[in-house]
């Protein structure tokens, strides 16, 4: 494969292509990064931020074009693409605002003769690989703190979004010293070359399967990793919940970006006395949403990123139906649309033996199961190899606190409160990865600790 051809999933038409990086080019980019790392570190936090603010200003100026490219290349509705750009810029600016506080030396011991401090120092060359589902935010989340903290970056975007990856390089690279931000292009083979190269840190967002391979490649060389992997987030609706008040949150947490989110609400666990009401309200909501071309301002739900993703989703739903699940709404491709479209779908009668329960479902399908007791709800919620996010719906604060403590996930929200905040760490338990992004937690993941003990 010499070129990546970008296909618009709204109509399956090619929109451009990017040359795949050769092994020699990948090695050359890593070498260039090593040559740049000492000078980039020497600039200090303030010196690096001064240059990176120019990068952010260019993204701000170009955000409308970039949002249109996201909609065209990966199928995110244009309204959501604009939100992704705005969110990514907010996170980037938050790194600037807090870096000095989070990376300053920390006093650990002092008396009249000695002073002991912990310093956070960059690793050097960071290999950063991100997926297609949030093309801008994924770049910011994995590259932003690396660059601010003093690491140089060799970056690879997904093969599904090569044009957006190219746009990032064209904006970032000219504003930074040569070698500080290098980019390579290709599929998993190029990613493998990069992580097996002469790098000092690996930051990856993507599937647990690929994360396991990266872990194998890095562990024998003692190269640290930060990995944000898959999720199968449960949403628990208890009997006291005001369904009308939370229905939009439930719908959005499942169907935003056509359900293609790592921490999307992928399994809805509902008290048996609330199931009918929940199903009725969510079904009604689906009728108000317009499916269509992602570039249209009227579109609420765009296509999946590619036909292969559509085929995978259809296989998961088919497996559920064959094993006894019932399609309440959706369950098929919409008529009259030629693209990777799939209707928002609700499934009942779901059991733990079905693929929609066992696997991560990356699309607009929501399995609904009933529970009778709090213990049963917790058991169902934790019945997954993943542990990224969990959504709990109840008015009972004591119950929420009790349940949250028992959930095997890195993030838990109550009702309409979101755990997504620039001040919070993002990451999960179990097969959802290792390490955290954002705030002091993210800065500490991309730096190494040095203790300096000195005489006073």
Nearest to 187 by CA among 306, 361, 95, 322: 306
pLDDT at position 281, please? Answer: 98
Residue ranges of the chain assigned to CATH 3.40.309.10: 233-422
CA distance 114 to 232: 50
Q: Token match 């369950």: residue?
A: 331
Q: Is-contact 293 302, C-beta < 8 A? A: yes
Q: How far is CA 253 from the centre of its chain?
A: 14
Q: How far apart are CA 178 and CA 182, in angstroms?
A: 8
Burial-class residue 281 by CB neighbours within 10 Å (0-12, 13-18, 19+). middle
Residue 211 CB neighbours (<10 A): 22
Could you give the CA distance from residue 67 to residue 238 in angstroms, rounded to a whole number?
A: 38
Q: Could you tell me which of 33, 29, 207 has the C-alpha nearest to residue 130?
A: 207
Catalytic residue among 160, 228, 359, 437: 228
Which value, to the nearest 10 degrees, does the dihedral of the CA atoms of residues 403, 407, 409, 410 take?
50
Question: Which tokens belong to 144?
Answer: 């932003």
294: CB partners within 8 A, 6+ apart: 9, 10, 71, 72, 75, 76, 77, 78, 81, 302, 303
Structure-token pair, residue 260: 């293609």
50: DSSP letter: H
| Under 8 Å between Cβ of 301 and 255 | yes
Give the contacts of 320 (CB within 8 A, at least 6 positions apart): 347, 350, 354, 355, 356, 367
Provide CATH code, domain 233-422.
3.40.309.10
Three-class SS of residue 332? coil
What is the second-level CATH architecture of the domain 3-229+432-455? 3-Layer(aba) Sandwich (3.40)
Catalytic residue, candidates 143, 203, 258, 262: 262
pLDDT at 31: 98
Q: 250 exposed, middle or buried (CB, 10 Å; 0-12, 13-18, 19+)?
A: buried
Closest CA to 356 of 327, 301, 313: 313
Cβ burial, residue 296 (10 Å; 0-12/13-18/19+): middle
Query: What string of pLDDT tens digits covers the 456 residues of the chain?
Result: 699 999 999 999 999 999 999 999 999 999 999 999 999 999 999 999 999 999 999 999 999 999 999 999 999 999 999 999 999 999 999 999 999 999 999 999 999 999 999 999 999 999 999 999 999 999 999 999 999 999 999 999 999 999 999 999 999 999 999 999 999 999 999 999 999 999 999 999 999 999 999 999 999 999 999 999 999 999 999 999 999 999 999 999 999 999 999 999 999 999 999 999 999 999 999 999 999 999 999 999 999 999 999 999 999 999 999 999 999 999 999 999 999 999 999 999 999 999 999 999 999 999 999 999 999 999 999 999 999 999 999 999 999 999 999 999 999 999 999 999 999 999 999 999 999 999 999 999 999 999 999 999
Stretch (H or E) spanning 84: helix 78-103
Query: Are 138 and 130 contacting, i.e. CB atoms less than 8 angstroms apart?
Result: yes
To the query of whether residue 228 is one of the catalytic residues in this protein, the response is yes
Prediction pTM value? 0.96
- What pLDDT does residue 286 have? 93
Task: Collapse the DSSP code of 324 into the 3-class scheme (helix H, G, I; strand E, B; otherwise coil) and give the result.
Answer: coil
Burial of 101 (0-12, 13-18, 19+ CB in 10 A): exposed
Would you state the pLDDT for residue 1? 66
The number of helices, as runs of H, and strands, as runs of E, in the chain is 15, 20
At what angle are helices 188-195 and 23-42 packed, to 10 degrees?
Answer: 50
Looking at residue 259, what DSSP letter applies? Answer: G
Unique residue bearing structure tokens 């919409």: 334
Whether residue 262 lies in the annotated active site: yes
From start to end of 177-323, where are the E strands? 181-184, 201-205, 225-228, 233-237, 265-271
């Amino acid at each position: 494969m010499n070129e990546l051809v970008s296909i618009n999933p709204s109509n399956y038409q090619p929109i451009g292509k990017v040359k795949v990086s050769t092994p020699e080019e990948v090695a050359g980019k890593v070498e260039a990064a090593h040559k740049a790392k000492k000078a980039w570190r020497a600039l200090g936090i303030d010196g690096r931020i001064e240059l990176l603010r120019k990068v952010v200003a260019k993204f701000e100026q170009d955000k409308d074009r970039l949002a249109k490219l996201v909609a065209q290349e990966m199928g995110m509705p244009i309204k959501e693409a604009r939100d992704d750009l705005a969110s990514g810029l907010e996170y980037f600016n938050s790194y600037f605002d807090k870096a000095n506080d989070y990376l300053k030396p920390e006093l650990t011991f002092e008396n009249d003769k000695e002073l002991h401090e912990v310093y956070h120092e960059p690793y050097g060359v960071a290999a950063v690989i991100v997926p297609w589902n949030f093309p801008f935010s994924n770049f910011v989340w994995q590259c932003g703190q690396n660059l601010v903290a003093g690491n140089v970056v060799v970056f690879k975007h997904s093969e599904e979004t090569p044009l957006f990856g190219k746009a990032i390089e064209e904006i970032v690279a000219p504003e930074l010293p040569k070698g500080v931000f290098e980019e390579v292009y290709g599929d998993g083979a190029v990613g493998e070359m990069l992580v097996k190269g002469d790098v000092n840190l690996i930051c990856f967002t993507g599937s647990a399967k690929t994360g396991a391979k990266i872990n194998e490649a890095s562990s024998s060389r003692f190269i640290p990793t930060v990995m944000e992997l898959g999720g199968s987030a449960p949403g628990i609706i208890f009997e006291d919940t005001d369904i009308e008040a939370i229905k939009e949150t439930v719908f959005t947490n499942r169907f935003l970006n056509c359900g293609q989110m790592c921490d999307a609400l992928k399994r809805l666990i509902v008290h048996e006395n609330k199931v009918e009401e929940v199903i009725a309200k969510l079904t009604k909501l689906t009728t108000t949403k317009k499916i269509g071309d992602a570039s249209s301002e009227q579109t609420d739900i765009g296509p999946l990123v590619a036909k292969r993703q559509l085929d995978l989703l259809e296989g998961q739903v088919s497996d559920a139906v064959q094993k006894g699940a019932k399609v309440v709404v959706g369950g098929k491709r919409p008529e009259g649309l030629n693209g990777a479209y799939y209707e928002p779908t609700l499934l009942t009668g779901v059991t733990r033996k079905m693929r929609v329960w066992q696997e991560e479902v990356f699309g607009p399908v929501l399995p609904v199961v009933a529970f009778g007791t709090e213990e049963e709800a917790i058991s169902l919620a934790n019945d997954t190899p993943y542990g990224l996010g969990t959504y709990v719906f109840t008015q009972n604060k004591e119950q929420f606190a009790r349940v949250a403590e028992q959930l095997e996930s890195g993030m838990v929200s109550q009702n309409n409160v979101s755990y997504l905040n620039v001040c919070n760490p993002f990451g999960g338990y179990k097969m959802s990865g290792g390490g955290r992004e954002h705030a002091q937690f993210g800065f500490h993941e991309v730096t190494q600790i040095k203790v300096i003990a000195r005489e006073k």
